[in-house]
């Protein structure tokens, strides 16, 4: 039986179609997740916490084989500069462990969400389920609608 948590209960309550996948409970990167689940890397996304100059956090959702383009995020937000906080800061401010940070787990917590626009060409995507060891396959449109995300070209491919 797959893990049940606040994210899966929320998706169930909103009648949003998804599939939950159980993974090893240690911190895994998005590339490792794709390998374990034997799925194409292109559909696996990771959430990177980015901090604005005013201290507010943004959740940037980008493909597994990319990094957040901080200049693109800053330009999109109308900021001069944004930066990635340390892992400890990101965990403290989100209340989630790295490897389990997900916009689905942080709904109604005041986090702005930006999803790389490459997701718009995909029928399904994989994203963290809000804790280590849980991955969710969901339609990108459902994620965007539920999190009130905006899309922009914010990924810098490696």
Q: Is residue 12 part of a domain?
A: yes
pLDDT score of 86 more than 80: yes
Q: Is residue 46 part of a domain?
A: yes
Domain that residue 55 falls in: 6-157
Q: Is residue 126 part of a domain?
A: yes
Q: Is residue 1 part of a domain?
A: no
Rounded-to-integer distance, Cα 52 and Cα 66, Å: 20
% of the chain exceeding 70 in pLDDT: 99
pLDDT score of 157 more than 90: no
| Domain count for the chain | 1
- Here the CATH number for the domain that contains residue 86 is 3.90.960.10
* Contact between residue 120 and residue 61 where contact means Cβ atoms under 8 Å apart: no
Q: Is residue 149 part of a domain?
A: yes
Rounded-to-integer distance, Cα 98 and Cα 2, Å: 20
> What are the E-state strand segments in 3-133?
18-22, 45-51, 57-63, 66-68, 112-116, 125-128
Q: Is residue 67 part of a domain?
A: yes
Q: Is residue 142 part of a domain?
A: yes
């Amino acid at each position: 039986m797959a893990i049940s948590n606040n994210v899966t209960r929320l998706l169930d309550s909103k009648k949003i179609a998804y599939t939950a996948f159980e993974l090893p409970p240690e911190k895994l990167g998005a590339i490792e997740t794709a390998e374990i689940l034997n799925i194409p890397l292109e559909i696996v996304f990771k959430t990177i916490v980015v901090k604005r100059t005013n201290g507010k956090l943004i959740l940037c959702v980008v493909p597994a084989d990319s990094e957040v383009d901080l200049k693109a995020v800053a330009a999109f937000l109308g900021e001069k500069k944004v930066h990635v906080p340390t892992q400890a800061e990101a965990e403290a401010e989100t209340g989630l462990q790295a490897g389990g940070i997900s916009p689905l787990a942080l709904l109604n917590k005041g986090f702005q969400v930006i999803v790389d626009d490459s997701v718009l060409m995909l029928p399904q995507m994989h994203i963290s389920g809000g804790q280590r060891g849980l991955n969710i396959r969901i339609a990108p449109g459902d994620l965007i609608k539920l999190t009130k995300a905006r899309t922009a070209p914010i990924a810098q491919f490696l």
